[in-house]
Amino acid sequence: MSTEDKNRATAAAILPLVGGAANVTSIAHCMTRLRLGLRDRSLVQDEALKAVPAVMGVVEDDTYQIVLGPGTVARVTPEFEALVAEERAAAPSSSVSADELASQGAEMKAAQKAKNQTPFKLFLRRIANIFVPLIPALIGCGIIAGLNGLLINLGWLPSVTPALAAMASGFMALIAVFVGFNTAKEFGGTPILGGAVAAIIVFPGVANISAFGQQLSPGQGGVLGALGAAVLATYVEKWCRKWVPEAVDVLVTPTLTVLISGLVTIFGLMFLAGEISTGIGTAANWLLENTGAFAGLVLGGLFLPLVMLGLHQALIPIHTTLIEQQGFTVLLPILAMAGAGQVGCAIAVYKRLRNNTSIRTTIKSALPAGFLGVGEPLIYGVSLPLGRPFITACVGGAAGGAFIGTFSMLGDKVGSTAIGPSGWALFPLLDGNHGLGTTIAIYAGGLLVGYLVGFFATYFFGFSKQMLVDLNAPQEVTVASGTPATSATSAEPAPAAAKV
């Protein structure tokens, strides 16, 4: 089966299990997940969905999220959209109106949203919606930057390296414009106006302007300034739409939006955001240089809970700011150690639960993705339902983070030139202040520490005696004659929650 046929088959398998096209209200995807808006959550067949070969797990939030993994999700989503469109076009006319269909399951959907739509979580989700679409460009440019640095260090292809430098740096030079565009779009404004205001920040001519007694510099304020400028532009635009007469709206509204927001950006936001951005860089460097081992332990140990709560999205602008300032983010390699602890934990669970075919099957299918930094299948399919192993996985992440943090205290910084990848997938994006070889060795050492500590912590402390008895107990299955028989296998695709 060709790759295209395989992706279409995956989409075709998923669609009926989420209630068909009529039950799908929105379709989107991030780095690893197909995100669906659903009319009626009760129509979803969770267990059958988890059994689809390409599906690594499912997550419920404000949308129903199907974990497919990086690369796969970007190919399955267009096929899924095409199938939904085809099914809707082929559907016979019905006496039930679209409004009536939309109202089905509305109470359940509203209840689910109420759990997740706290103001803080909504704000973080908006931040993620602004920055996540930029990740593919950050990854591509980051890998090209790493390749270019390698060629320069080796003295190879001197006529090509300037071109590679232009490819790697072009996006970062204009990232403020893209942030402004996405911000206006997310906050309900005209995207191009958000981009136009944010473009002021990177315009070379701002070097001729003084604010607060200081000469401005192009790019001052970076992505934080662009974010603030675009949010301001959105509110100015909405005010104009409300009060400007329709006859002159097309002329007055864009002009006032750019003029008012631009003046505030130049004479306020650029300086303010610049100070905040500088503070973030200074704080990150100070933290790792002076408390590196402790900082790494805390960051590596708490990252999995942050992911569970959705709070990790708050780190995206910080990563982007550090990349913009220093060329790499020193935080991501430390946070990636959480995935290493998760992998070590999963291997220990596999060893301890020798008779639980269900959990071992889940681990075998999810472990390759775990090594590449895709942690959701192991989190939601293994460690979190078991309870204690989730905690010991965090211990492994803390140990790996402390290892990398210790080297930061010694002056060997390890950073990533892009955000998104983790685990082994982060190797092509690594950068630091003491050569690529040293950087790779420290990161690899951190992964190894995370694997080992996660494994031993889980193996010796991840299970109570009763948990081992319960989870290794033979399951009753029914043979053809209808009489019960014992077996070590289980038909469940994921473990039930265990008592800690």
Is residue 30 flagged as an active site residue?
yes
Catalytic-labelled residue, pool 30, 141, 345, 394: 30
Q: Can you give the chain as a three-state secondary structure string?
A: CCHHHHHHHHHHHHHHHCCCHHHEEEEEECCCEEEEEECCHHHCCHHHHHCCCCCCEEEECCCEEEECCCCHHHHHHHHHHHHHHHHHHHCCCCCCCHHHHHHCCHHHHHHHHHHHCCHHHHHHHHHHHHHHHHHHHHHHHHHHHHHHHHHHHHCCCCCCHHHHHHHHHHHHHCHHHHHHHHHHHHCCCCHHHHHHHHHHHHCHHHHHCEECCEECCCCCCHHHHHHHHHHHHHHHHHHHHHHCCHHHHHHHHHHHHHHHHHHHHHHHHHHHHHHHHHHHHHHHHHHHHHHHHHHHHHHHHHHHHHHHHCHHHHHHHHHHHHHHHHCCECCHHHHCHHHHHHHHHHHHHHHHCCCCHHHHHHHHHHHHHHHCCCCHHHHHHHHHHHCHHHHHHHHHHHHHHHHHHHHHHCCCCEEECCCCCCHHHHHHHEEECCCHHHHHHHHHHHHHHHHHHHHHHHHHHCCCHHHHHHHHCCEEEECCCCCEEEECCCCCCCCCCCCC
Residues with catalytic annotation?
Answer: 30
